């Protein structure tokens, strides 16, 4: 796995890791959808999400809880994969390993280093007009991977508009608890683009809710 470093216009770095190298494997998920799976297909267990319902993820952290609605119509494979990982308890006990104030909070790495992932990847290229504004949740990837490649690492935008290119698969938008996201977003050094948190922030549990 390679660490991603994307240079932004304001000289801020986004670090993340997607999945493993692309393969020709396919997997089913959602409404009879075919998703291209890279890496180890046996590790992928995509959830069956109804795009006509509201599918949300509640994130309980050591600093409080926030909720984001999954963008099932924009990113069907990404959201099905993420929901599958949530149902497995993949994220429970992990941390936000990267916090850059005014930019993003990033988690979902089982190694806690920015190098880990679930062992597989999916792809949902984001719309060309995607804007990464406060409260948007998206997936990190390596610089070499195609636009929209996703593993398990995700980030929540904490800046008004961080100016990222439309390369990162859209996972959803925060619908509740943006104040918690903002508080977590303060626990970093604005002069440290690597984003080492000033104190640990743990993801106690994630829960998938549909209704």
Q: What is the pLDDT of residues 114-138, one digit of tens each?
A: 999 999 999 999 999 999 999 999 9
Residue 34 belongs to some domain of the structure: yes
Quickly count: other Cβ atoms within 10 Å of residue 191's Cβ.
7
Q: Distance between alpha carbon 202 and the CA centroid of its chain, in Å?
A: 15
Distance, CA of 148 to CA of 93 (rounded, Å) = 26
Least confident range of 16-20, 119-123, 173-177: 16-20
Residue 8 belongs to some domain of the structure: no
Structure tokens at 115: 């190098």
Query: For the chain, what is the domain count?
Result: 1
Residue 4 belongs to some domain of the structure: no
Residue 179 belongs to some domain of the structure: yes
Q: Closest Cα partner for 133 from 98, 184, 174, 167?
A: 174
Residue 10 belongs to some domain of the structure: no
First to last CA, the chain: 36
Residue 129 lies in domain: 20-40+53-210
Distance, CA of 103 to CA of 160 (rounded, Å) = 8
Question: Beta 55-61 vs 136-139: how paired, if at all?
Answer: unpaired
Residue 12 belongs to some domain of the structure: no
Burial class (CB in 10 A: 0-12, 13-18, 19+), 136: buried
Q: Indicate whether 27 pLDDT > 70.
A: no
Structure tokens at 184: 């977590």
Structure tokens at 127: 């719309």
Contact 136/156 with Cβ under 8 angstroms? yes
Name 38's bridge partners: 121
pLDDT, tens digit (0-9, with 9 covering 90-100), for 30-75: 443 689 999 999 999 999 999 999 999 999 999 999 999 999 999 9
Q: Closest Cα partner for 134 from 64, 78, 68?
A: 68
Residue 7 belongs to some domain of the structure: no
How are strands ordered across the β-sheet holding 154-157? 96-100, 104-107, 154-157, 136-139, 170-176, 64-70, 55-61, 203-210
The percentage of the chain sitting over the pLDDT mark of 90, rounded to a whole number, equals 81
Q: What CATH number has the domain bearing residue 139?
A: 2.40.100.10
Residue 183 belongs to some domain of the structure: yes
Structure tokens at 102: 């005014």
Q: Indicate whether 25 pLDDT > 60.
A: no
């Amino acid at each position: 796995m390679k660490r991603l470093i994307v240079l932004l216009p304001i000289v801020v770095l986004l670090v993340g890791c997607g999945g493993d190298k692309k393969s020709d494997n396919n997997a089913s998920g959602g409404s009879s959808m075919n998703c291209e799976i890279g890496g180890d297909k046996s590790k992928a267990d995509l959830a069956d999400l109804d795009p006509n319902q509201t599918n949300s993820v509640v994130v309980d952290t050591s600093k409080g809880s926030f909720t984001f609605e999954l963008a099932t119509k924009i990113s069907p494979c990404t959201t099905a994969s993420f929901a599958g990982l949530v149902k497995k308890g993949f994220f429970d006990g992990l941390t936000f390993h990267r916090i850059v104030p005014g930019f993003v909070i990033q988690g979902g790495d089982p190694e806690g280093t920015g190098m880990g992932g679930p062992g597989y990847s999916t792809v949902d290229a984001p719309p060309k007009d995607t804007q990464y504004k406060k409260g948007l949740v998206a997936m990190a990837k390596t610089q070499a991977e195609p636009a929209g490649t996703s593993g398990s690492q995700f980030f929540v935008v904490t800046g008004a508009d961080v100016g990222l290119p439309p390369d990162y698969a859209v996972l959803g938008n925060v619908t509740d608890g943006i104040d918690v996201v903002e508080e977590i977003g303060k626990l970093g050094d604005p002069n440290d683009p690597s984003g080492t948190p000033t104190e640990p922030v743990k993801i106690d549990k994630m829960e998938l809710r549909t209704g």
